[in-house]
Structure 1
């Protein structure tokens, strides 16, 4: 894990690879639970026998399941001392490149693309995120994620 002593130190790291998360196994149980929560019960995710005969040779994870792991994966990858709030602002760009088969292990690799100081102690970040599948050359997804970090000691009056 990469630890930054302050938001200012993080801002000075624009253009750098921040690191990668641990590997996370995408089990059928996880896929099934995600399907129930999102009501996306498509057979390619849930029906093993039918999926064996399909184009992927077995069940695959929902693309959004793999992306939903990003916040936990980011917490494994970096920490900024003095930050009391992290707000997800969304994605500027998200592309799925290949399916993630049941049982695969995935991780996220993060790069700091931009970091801009804002009023009231906020830092506006844009992260490049690459979702890797263990043993595969091509990424499962690539994304540009937007976030706001808040550090109370940087807060100024508006």
Structure 2
């Protein structure tokens, strides 16, 4: 059994290390349209492929907040979270939208562990530096995400994050 402090120390020992990249995830027009319906953001650059083709990006692009909402999905395959009971997204800092996420192209996430520490009420705080990149090599978005996790009573130390040379676990689309 591993304690909260032992797990926090395990991640902290890996601070400043790149954990690798997630599998590629294709942003579809259906994804963008569904997100537009939920958020009521129906700008033509997102939802009208014909009009978007004549716009600044030459094709429809995903909403920036859609890209942000995929961070947890894209990054969880790079972290062993079997020790956690539940997780909460606490904050996003230093968010920058650097390039458009063109519909029909793949995105993936790169993760670096920034820090880890135990917090009150049995939470582990994990801070990650995240870079979302497109298939053409452009960086779409960067952010620093802080997550809080409750540790399971039967937790063991994590077996990984993926560190540079290993292959991430595949994750299926929800």
Class of the TM-score when normalised by the shorter of the 2 chains: 0.7 to 0.9
> Distance between the aligned counterparts of 1:36 and 1:50, measured in 2?
18
Shift of 1:93: 1.5
* Cα-to-partner distance string for 1:15-71 (whole Å, 9 max, x where unaligned): 111222110000111111110011110010011111111111011111111111111
More displaced 10-residue stretch of structure 1: 7-16 or 66-75: 7-16
Aligned length: 149
User: Which residue is 1:139 aligned to?
Assistant: 139
User: Which residue is 2:108 aligned to?
Assistant: 107
More displaced 10-residue stretch of structure 1: 31-40 or 9-18: 9-18
2:35 pairs with 1:34: yes
TM-score by length of 2: 0.79
How do residues 74-113 of structure 1 correspond to structure 2 at under 5 angstroms? Answer: 74-113=75-114
Gaps of 5+ in 1: none
CA RMSD of aligned residues (A): 1.8
> Distance between the aligned counterparts of 1:81 and 1:48, measured in 2?
41
> Distance between the aligned counterparts of 1:152 and 1:78, measured in 2?
16
The answer to whether the 8 Å contact 1:94/1:143 transfers is yes
Gaps of 5+ in 2: 1-5, 155-174
How do residues 16-35 of structure 1 correspond to structure 2 at under 5 angstroms? Answer: 16-35=17-36
> Distance between the aligned counterparts of 1:11 and 1:48, measured in 2?
45
TM-score by length of 1: 0.87
